[in-house]
Amino acid sequence: MPATLPNLRINSDRLWASLMELAQIGATAKGGVCRLALTDLDRQARDLFIRWCEEAGCTVTVDGIGNIFARRSGRDNALPPVMTGSHIDTQPTGGKFDGAYGVMAGLEVVRTLNEADFETDAPVEIVVWTNEEGTRFAPAMIGSGAFAKVFDLSKELGKTDLEGKTIGGELERIGYNGATPVGGRKIGAYFEAHIEQGPILEAESKTIGIVTGAQGQRWYEVTVVGQEAHAGPTPMVRRKDALVAASRMIDRVNRIGHAHQPGACATVGHVQVMPNSRNVIPGRVFFTIDFRNPSDDALTAMDRDLRQACDEIAAAAGCTVEVKEFWYFAPTPFDPACIAAVRAGAERGGYSHRDIISGAGHDAVYLAQVAPTGMIFVPCEDGISHNEIENATPQDLAAGCAVLLHAVLARAVRG
Amino acid sequence: MPATLPNLRINSDRLWASLMELAQIGATAKGGVCRLALTDLDRQARDLFIRWCEEAGCTVTVDGIGNIFARRSGRDNALPPVMTGSHIDTQPTGGKFDGAYGVMAGLEVVRTLNEADFETDAPVEIVVWTNEEGTRFAPAMIGSGAFAKVFDLSKELGKTDLEGKTIGGELERIGYNGATPVGGRKIGAYFEAHIEQGPILEAESKTIGIVTGAQGQRWYEVTVVGQEAHAGPTPMVRRKDALVAASRMIDRVNRIGHAHQPGACATVGHVQVMPNSRNVIPGRVFFTIDFRNPSDDALTAMDRDLRQACDEIAAAAGCTVEVKEFWYFAPTPFDPACIAAVRAGAERGGYSHRDIISGAGHDAVYLAQVAPTGMIFVPCEDGISHNEIENATPQDLAAGCAVLLHAVLARAVRG
């Protein structure tokens, strides 16, 4: 780390204005954003980002899974770049800040460097990762996962949405199937600024969360099969009601989350009932489970409890159940030097701060597999995100961006 | 009831052949029938029925909602007729027997009387009721409901399908807007033969179900509202998970069904989760409830238990709930003398039998409001109906028809 860093100041108003302009693409009546990955709206947002980056003098490349890299040259372009960014796809009823903040904060860092005519030693890259939300194409964080070689590229390109459209096909359709190879190059450091998406910073009145790592996650797809029958003439004792069994499993998932504290989360977010007719006993129910825990042992115990509960409940209801774990990653500690750079930035700015574990998955979690990685959290109102009412203050967002600027400089300028 | 009845035998092969010929109108590739009410296919089936009835010497009239009455004269035509029949419209993926069996069984009764040259005292009428299924025009059982003055005729004639076509317009288009007034005349007795559409007779190896009445029904729409939030960083204790609350309610609906036996049914068939994303805590869940019970008191108790359970569960989960009842009809007991006539027919034929409550709605339920009414059930394979694989054996169908013949004679011949 350099002994002294220039005293640059980010422009809070400009950061806020960029966020608000980006949020108009896919804006919802309730003040949120619906901009699913690889839709026409995603293309519009990507186009806008690239225009802004080119206006800021960056060179833009797109890789084979649609990740966008906007590079600001350094004094020594042979050095591995310091990279910062996040994603601009959203949940169906998402907010203005989740992901978009990390990308706009990266852009604001570059604009601030430009304004000061400050040249870093290493190049700085702003990145937009493809399909972070995992809501259109499962799982989440596909762009960064492919970049980190956690996922097989050709398999991910073939992944389909509910209408059977593939990632590869949609990338081509919107013109973002880039020529740059996916991953396989050295990254000096990766930083990601993000709203906390939880209530802790707000509850403790802290401005900056110094993220020390991420929770482990296990994601499941569960299919319960019973027997479809007419709701009128089928006696209760003869029923094989897949929805009753699934409902008991969903209740149990919640109880498992409560039982494996501290830090455990357990959520069923998606349910499909078949045939989903008022007077037909459901013959098949599909649902998803999202388990998280900072302890890998506890996550294993949650898995064991889940499988036992599902088997018992299905058998008692005369149904069969398949519990398929389709995504796992272990708890991920971040890089000590990157964590230190974030901490130094928070202290230098005089911001209140605390160390925090990320409960959400972030592109940074995959980047941590291939680069020294750190994250910066800022508070969001009531801890709410993945919701149209998601909110954060211009002051907190500016503080996080100032810390990001410091962390990027700490890694991009020779000591 | 007459002391002795003639020893007539229905023709099983003729009954089966008529059913199979009728099933060709709207036949599907999977062996079912798609013949929605008041379509060209419905007209073809009506035309065929009328031709057969006229060949059997009946006089055919059509009323103002398209119900068809084929009358075989009796010795004393001033007596109110004994009526039997059902419907010939089907579900979009319906079977060959639901409804059609009751109509063809009525025709077979008349053909058998003709063959034996047997004259009843009262006239016998075979009836086809309009739009029983309720799949093209809602609700179900519109023709019989209008006949029984449960529905207002002019309102029903104005009901539209999804394309905006009215019942009145479609009746006119297919030439079945008859001149006969709808209802308002005396019926000596009404009998309807029908496949059970449930598993009870088959499971107990009984040939004949002596239907003693129809269950009452209460249908609900329930909306649970919690708070949408990110599945990762939202601690379990801070969640307002609408799906966890709804799941506990669905479990409770099932337990309420079990608790209010005999005869209670409780089904949640339709669920919508919002936003239905894997890693978002659901903020809103909509689901439907179908409660049935042969006892109105028990149905009232089920309603009370439901509302109490929903309120308790919602409050405990930090959610709100709205429970809206949008359809109710009281349990309908059938006429003791008609029930006795069916029972006597089953015993005289030496058929195994049991008393049974109809869980499904039938035209007989509305006829019971204006005439002494009875029903005869025969088994259907695996209890499945409203499905192209709906099936029944020629033997069971013939047995039900023989019982129907006896019941009709018991009411149409003076003792």
How many CA atoms does the CB half-sphere of A112 hold within 13 Å? 26
Q: Which of A334, A260, A251, A266 is nearest to A298 (CA)?
A: A260
Give B275→chain A minimum CA distance, Å.
7
- CATH number of the domain encompassing residue B293: 3.30.70.360
Q: Is the dihedral of CA B306, B309, B312, B317 positive or negative?
A: negative
Query: Do A24 and A88 lie in a common domain?
Result: yes
Q: How far apart are CA A256 and CA B334, in angstroms?
A: 50
Determine the pLDDT at residue A5.
Answer: 73
Beta bridge pairs of residue A46: none
Answer whether A376's CB lies under 8 Å from A210's CB.
yes
B284 in A contact zone (CB under 8 Å): no
Q: How far is CA A388 from CA A135, B130, B346, in A?
A: 15, 48, 65
Give CA–CA dist B59/B81, Å, rounded.
13
For chain A, report the end-to-end CA distance as a whole number of angstroms. 5
Residue A287 phi, psi dihedral angles, 5° rounding: -145, 165
Neighbouring CB atoms inside 10 A of A117's CB total 6
Instruction: Examine the pLDDT at A3 and tell me if it is beyond 60.
Output: no
- Please judge whether B359 and A232 are an interchain contact, meaning their C-beta atoms are less than 8 angstroms apart: yes
A89, A234, A286: best mutation site toward chain B, by most B Cβ within 10 Å? A234
CA A142, A147, A151, A152 torsion-angle sign: positive
Of A280, A309, A329, which one is at a domain's C-terminal end? A329
Chain B positions in Cβ-Cβ contact with residue A281 (cut-off 8 Å)? 267, 269
Could you tell me the pLDDT band of residue A4, with boundaries at 50, 70 and 90? Answer: low
Nearest to B244 among A232, A250, A270 (CB): A250
Structural domain containing residue A195? 12-215+331-412
The whole-number pLDDT of residue B230 equals 87
Cα separation of A414 and B15, whole Å?
95
CA A64, A65, A68, A74 torsion: positive or negative? Answer: negative
| Closest A-chain CA to B203 | A238
Inter-chain contact B247–A250, Cβ cutoff 8 Å? yes
C-alpha distances in angstroms, A97 versus A45, A211, B223?
A: 14, 18, 29
Q: Is the pLDDT of residue A415 over 80?
A: no
Nearest to A271 among B200, B243, B292 (CB): B243
Mean pLDDT of B129-140: 90
pLDDT in tens, B63-84: 999 999 999 999 999 999 999 9
Question: Span A359-386, mean pLDDT?
Answer: 93
Q: Looking at CA atoms only, how far is residue A252 from chain B in angstroms? A: 9
Q: Does A126 fall in a domain?
A: yes
For the ranges A184-188, A275-279, B91-95, B162-166, the one whose mean pLDDT is highest: A184-188
Mean pLDDT on B153-162: 94
Q: Is A255 on the interface with B (CB under 8 A)?
A: no
Judgement on whether residues B294 and B246 belong to the same structural domain of the protein: yes
Q: What local confidence, expressed as pLDDT, does residue B358 receive? A: 93
- A405 and A260 share one domain: no
Mark whether A221 and A192 lie in a shared domain: no
For residue range A57-111, what is the model confidence (pLDDT) as tens digits? 999 999 999 999 999 999 999 999 999 999 999 999 999 999 999 999 999 999 9
Spatial distance between the Cα atoms of A153 and B265, rounded to a whole number of angstroms: 51
Determine the straight-line distance between the first and last CA of chain B, rounded to whole angstroms.
5
Quick: pLDDT tens for B294-344. 999 999 999 999 999 999 999 999 999 999 998 888 899 999 999 999 999
Average pLDDT score, chain B = 95
pLDDT above 90 for B204: yes
> What pLDDT score was predicted for residue B384?
83
pLDDT digits (tens, 9 = 90+) for A333-349: 999 999 999 999 999 99
The answer to whether residue A2 scores a pLDDT higher than 70 is no
A92 touches chain B (CB under 8 A): yes
Write the residue in B244, B270, B386 that is nearest to A273 by C-beta. B270
Q: B309, B329, B349: which is the final residue of a domain? A: B329
Interface test with A, best of B200, B204, B220, B247 (most A CBs within 10 A): B247
pLDDT digits (tens, 9 = 90+) for B369-403: 999 999 999 999 988 888 888 999 999 999 999 99
**What pLDDT is recorded for position A228?**
87
Whether B170 is in a domain gets the answer yes
pLDDT for B18: 98
Residue B14, CA distances (Å) to A3, B49, B107, B397 in order: 102, 14, 10, 11
The CA distance from B387 to B408, in Å, is 30
Residue B264 in contact with partner chain A when CB distance is under 8 A:
yes
The answer on pLDDT for B3 being more than 60 is no
**CA dihedral over B142, B143, B144, B150, signed as positive or negative:** positive
Question: Is the pLDDT confidence value at B366 over 60?
Answer: yes
Q: Across the strands, what pairs with A322?
A: A223
Cis peptide bond N-terminal to A199, omega within 30: no
Residue-wise DSSP of B272-294: EEES--TTEE--EEEEEEEEEES
Assign residue A408 the CATH number of its domain: 3.40.630.10
**CB-CB neighbors (< 8 A) of B360 in chain A:** 230, 232-233
Return all residues near A21 (Cβ < 8 A) that are at least 6 apart: A48
Residues A313 and A355 grouped into a single domain: no
Helix (H, G, I), strand (E, B) or coil at B135: coil
Which of B200, B280, B290 lies nearest to residue A91, judging by beta carbons?
B280
Q: What is the DSSP letter of B382?
A: G
Mean pLDDT of A112-140: 95
The minimum CA-CA distance between B348 and chain A, rounded to whole Å, is 27
Residue B244 lies in a domain: yes
Flag if A197 and B233 touch (Cβ within 8 Å).
yes
Phi, psi of B357 (to 5 degrees): -100, 135
User: Which of A235, A261, A278 comes nearest B200 by C-beta?
Assistant: A235
How are beta strands B332-333 and B265-267 bridged, if at all? unpaired
Has residue B199 been placed in a domain? yes
Alpha-carbon span B116 to B56, nearest angstrom:
13
Any bridge partners for residue A87, and if so which?
A129
Same domain assignment for residues B228 and B280: yes
Residue B84's SS3 state is strand
Give the Cα separation of B224 and A271 in Å (integer): 15
Residues in chain A within 8 Å Cβ distance of B197: 230, 232-233
Rounded to two decimals, the ipTM of the complex is 0.83
Please list, residue by residue across A84-107, b when 16 or more beta carbons sit within 10 angstroms of its beta carbon and e when fewer do.
Answer: bbbbbbbbbbbbbbbbbbbbbbbb
* Assigned token pair, B304: 């009370």
Higher-scoring residue by pLDDT: B88, B199: B88
Residues A257 and A191 in one domain: no
Chain Cα centroid distance, residue B105:
16
Q: How far is CA A220 from CA A255, A360, B228, in A?
A: 16, 16, 20
Three-state SS for B127? strand
Count of CB atoms within 10 A of residue B316's CB? Answer: 11
* Last-in-domain residue among A329, A355, A386: A329
Compute the Cα dihedral for A305, A306, A311, A316 and give only its sign.
Answer: positive
What is the pLDDT, as a whole number, of residue A188?
97
What is the rounded CA–CA span in Å between residue B115 and residue B10? 10
For the segment A36-50, the average pLDDT, to the nearest whole number, is: 98
The SS3 call for residue B89 is: coil
**Nearest beta carbon to residue B383 from set A133, A229, A278:** A229
Is B9 at the interface with chain A, CB within 8 A?
no
For residues B258-276, give the mean pLDDT: 96
Check pLDDT > 90 for residue B113. Answer: yes
For the segment A299-328, what is each residue's pLDDT rounded down to a tens digit? 999 999 999 999 999 999 999 999 999 889
Same domain, A41 and A184: yes
Tell me, yes or no, whether A1 lies in a domain.
Answer: no
pLDDT at B2 over 80: no
Name the percent of chain B lying above pLDDT 70. Answer: 99
Residue A359 touches chain B, beta carbons under 8 Å: yes
Residues A41 and A117 in one domain: yes
Instruction: Give the number of residues written for chain B.
Output: 415
Per-residue pLDDT, averaged over B400-414, amounts to 97
Is A2 contained in some domain? no
Bridge partners of A224, per DSSP, are A285, A321
Is residue B49 domain-shared with residue B123, that is, in the same domain? yes
B70, B97, B349, B376, B377 from B397: Cα distances, Å: 22, 9, 13, 10, 9
At residue B4, the pLDDT reads 66
Average pLDDT rounded to a whole number, residues B222-246: 94
Does residue B357 surpass a pLDDT of 80?
Answer: yes
Q: Closest Cα partner for A67 from A123, A122, A111, A131?
A: A131
- Residues A382 and A391: their CA atoms lie apart, in Å, by 8
* B259 shares a domain with B115: no
Among A138, A232, A359, whose Cβ lies nearest the Cβ of B233? A359
CA distances from A155 to A164, A184, B195, B396 (A): 14, 17, 50, 55
B143, B129 Cβ separation under 8 angstroms: yes
Q: With beta carbons less than 8 A apart as the criterion, state whether B358 and B214 touch.
A: yes
Specify the pLDDT at position B73: 98
| B379 closest CA partner among B214, B198, B210 | B198
Least confident range of A167-176, A367-376, B377-386: B377-386
In angstroms, how far is CA B244 from the centroid of its own chain?
35
DSSP B146: H
CA distance A359 to chain B (A): 4
- Average pLDDT of the segment spanning A190-211: 95
Placement of tokens 């489970």 in the chain? A289
Residue B1 lies in a domain: no
On the CB side of B223, how many CA atoms lie within 13 Å of its CA? Answer: 5
Closest CA to A364 of A392, A406, A328, A335: A335
Collapsed DSSP state (helix, strand, coil) of residue B320 = strand
CA B27 to chain centre: 21
- Domain total for chain A? 2
What pLDDT is attached to residue A313?
A: 98
pLDDT at B1: 47
Distance CA A14, CA B357 (A): 72
Same domain for B54 and B99?
yes
Question: By the 8 A CB rule, do A135 and A92 touch?
Answer: yes
- Which has the higher per-residue pLDDT, A162 or A221? A221
Helix (H) or strand (E) holding A273: strand A271-274
What does the radius of gyration of chain B's CA atoms come to, in whole angstroms? 23
A318 Cβ under 8 Å from any chain B Cβ: no
Tell me, yes or no, whether A85 lies in a domain: yes
The Cα B145–Cα B156 span in angstroms is 10
Total residue length of chain A: 415
For residue B170 the two structure tokens come to 């479609």
* Inter-chain CB proximity B247 and A244 less than 8 Å: no
